[in-house]
Structure 1
Amino acid sequence: MSKPPIIEPNQIRHALKVAAVTGQNPIRDVALLTVFYSTGLTSNEVAKLLVSDYLTDSGKVRVDSEVRAEIAFNGKARPLIWANAKACAAIDDYLAYRLAARHGVTARRAAFRGLDQDGPLFFTGDGAPFVFTKRVTGTGAVSYSCESLTEIVRRLHQQAGIENGNASAARRTFAVRLHRDGRSLKVIQKLIGVSSLSAVKNQVEGDAVRLSTIVSGVI
């Protein structure tokens, strides 16, 4: 099975510009793209994020947050760091839009910026929570997937002309960007939650741009 592509910074910037001027919910879509590329979360994890995973009671960004065990793809909690300025700015814009549109608001205006702390961080275009599709394999194993969010992310890449771009590509790109910045495999493993260092190595191997990036800065 082929690996998801690595999406380069210029492609991400282009996708954000296109997302900002197309679709029915550009403010949300820009925020979604920044979250996927700055956290390495899966579609299911993003769909399950709560307002309280991003904000404190006072309305400040929860910089050192957590992918809770109950929403993590592997059932194990891991760090969730909201430290990317562009991502936080985009999410803040979306939450301001949500408040104005009355999507998931409460009477407590002073807490969590007036939003329901136990409600989803992201909604569908009409202000409803994302739904999950249940699947049962031949062996009886049950799984759930947020196909609607997966499709939104795929569409955002497609409309920007990014071939095979999707949430998995964003997740691999997050790992590769950390590797390019010299982060250890253990750090990357901790942030994306994969089971072993060999799994991390598999994610970052085959980065064709890596050598050219190094050589370009020699002189």
Structure 2
Amino acid sequence: MAKAPVIELHEIRHALKVAAVTGQTPLCDVALLAVFYSTGLTSNEAAKLTVADYCAEDGGVRSDATVRAEIAFNGKSRPLLWANRRARESLDEYLRHRVSVRHGVSTARAAYRGLDPCSSLFLADDGTSFAFTRRFTRSGTASYSCETLTGILRRLHQQAGIERGNASAARRSFAVLLHRQGRSLKLIQNLIGVSSLAAIKSLVDSDPVALASIVRGVL
């Protein structure tokens, strides 16, 4: 299977600008893009995040957040760092909008910014949680996927003219951009939850920028 593409920073910034002025839910769309590219989450994990995974009870951004084991794709918890300024700002704006339209609000207005802490962090445009599709393998094992959110990520890339852009591309780009910054493979492994260092190396190999630098130095 071909690797997901690496989406460059200028493409990500363009996608954010397009998302801000396109569609019915621009605040949610911008927040989604910013979160996917700054955390390396999978679609299923993002769909299962709750308000309490982002907000502390006093309304501040959680500094001890984790991708909880019960929502992690591999069943193992890992750090969830809300360190990216653009992601925090877009999430904050989106959550203020949710309060204004009363999507997932709570009667306890002083806690969790007035939102139900158990409410999904990202909601569909009608204020409901994203649905999951259940499928069965040949052996009878059930698997679940959030196809709606996957489709939204695909649409957000398409409208920005980014070919093959999707949640997998955002996840690989997160890993590759960290690697370009000189971050260790072990750190990247810890942040995205991939099982082995060999898998991380495969993910960041064939970086188009690194390859272009090699070719430029041939002559």
Residue in structure 2 matched with residue 153 of structure 1 by the alignment: 153
Residue in structure 2 matched with residue 63 of structure 1 by the alignment: 63
Match status 1:186 vs 2:192: no
Residue in structure 1 matched with residue 42 of structure 2 by the alignment: 42
Paired residues in the alignment total: 216
Residue in structure 1 matched with residue 142 of structure 2 by the alignment: 142
SS in 2 for 1:153: helix
Specify every segment of 5 or more residues in structure 1 that has no aligned partner in the other structure, as ranges. Answer: none
4+ runs deviating over 6 angstroms? 213-216
Match status 1:110 vs 2:110: yes
SS in 2 for 1:156: helix
CA distance in 1, matches of 2:127, 2:154: 20
Contact 1:64 1:82 in 2 (8 A): no
Q: Give the share of equivalent positions with the same residue, in percent.
A: 65
Query: What whole-Å deviation, never above 9, does each CA across 1:61-109 have from its counterpart, x for those lacking one?
Result: 0133100000000000000000100000000000000000100001111
Residue in structure 2 matched with residue 20 of structure 1 by the alignment: 20
Tell me the TM-score normalised to structure 1 length: 0.96
SS in 2 for 1:143: strand
Per-residue deviation, 1:212: 4.7
Tell me the TM-score normalised to structure 2 length: 0.96
Per-residue deviation, 1:141: 1.4
CA distance in 2, matches of 1:119, 1:135: 25
Give the letter aligned to residue 83 of structure 2. Answer: A
CA distance in 2, matches of 1:83, 1:35: 10
Per-residue deviation, 1:12: 0.3
Query: What whole-Å deviation, never above 9, does each CA across 1:45-71 have from its counterpart, x for those lacking one?
Result: 000000000000000001331000000
Give the letter aligned to residue 209 of structure 1. Answer: V
Specify every segment of 5 or more residues in structure 2 that has no aligned partner in the other structure, as ranges. Answer: none
Residue in structure 1 matched with residue 87 of structure 2 by the alignment: 87
Indicate the RMSD between aligned Cα atoms, in angstroms.
1.3
Query: What whole-Å deviation, never above 9, does each CA across 1:103-148 have from its counterpart, x for those lacking one?
Result: 0001111000000001100000111110000010111111000000
